[in-house]
Amino acid sequence: MATWDVHVRTDGGVRELEEIADWLRREPELQGRVGLEKRAIGDGELGTLPEALEIAIGGSGILPVLLQSIQTWLSLRNRSRVRLTIRESSGRVVEVEADRPQDIERFLHATDDQ
């Protein structure tokens, strides 16, 4: 069974990243899987801000749920852009930038066979 590690970034800063995290956490299949990714704290820093979402996915049925949820979120937003990096356990990496729901469509079709 394939597993995926998905990173989601936005151009909207921390606030938008937290908004999409909250949105994704409402999906029953994604509960407990969505985390905020922060870089390591450097010398003289008190902390860091989240840079991306990290979502661990095991099982083929969950990746389409994630993509459909992001697609819906994009349809409700103006001027939002997300960048997805999807790493499969086999080592394959797929990246996409999306600012329209249609941009996610090819990934939904690609996961239909998995």
Lowest mean pLDDT among 24-28, 71-75, 104-108: 104-108
Looking at residues 79-95, what average pLDDT do you find? 87
User: Residue 59 has which token pair?
Assistant: 């099982």
Q: pLDDT digits over 30-79, tens only?
A: 999 998 887 666 777 666 667 888 998 887 678 888 999 999 999 998 77
pLDDT higher than threshold 60 for residue 113: no
Amino acid letter for position 87:
R
Residue 37 CA to residue 35 CA, distance in Å, equals 6
The structure's pTM equals 0.81
Of the pLDDT bands very low, low, confident and very high (cuts 50, 70, 90), residue 26 is: very high
Contacts for 76 with CB less than 8 Å, ≥ 6 apart: none
Selected from 3.60.70, 1.10.287, 3.30.70, 1.20.140, the CATH number assigned to the domain covering 3-40+50-111 reads 3.30.70
Percent of all residues in the chain with a pLDDT value above 90, rounded to a whole number: 24
| Averaged pLDDT score across all residues of the chain | 83
Question: In the predicted model, is pLDDT for residue 1 greater than 70?
Answer: no
Question: C-alpha distances in angstroms, 112 versus 7, 23, 67, 107?
Answer: 20, 23, 12, 9
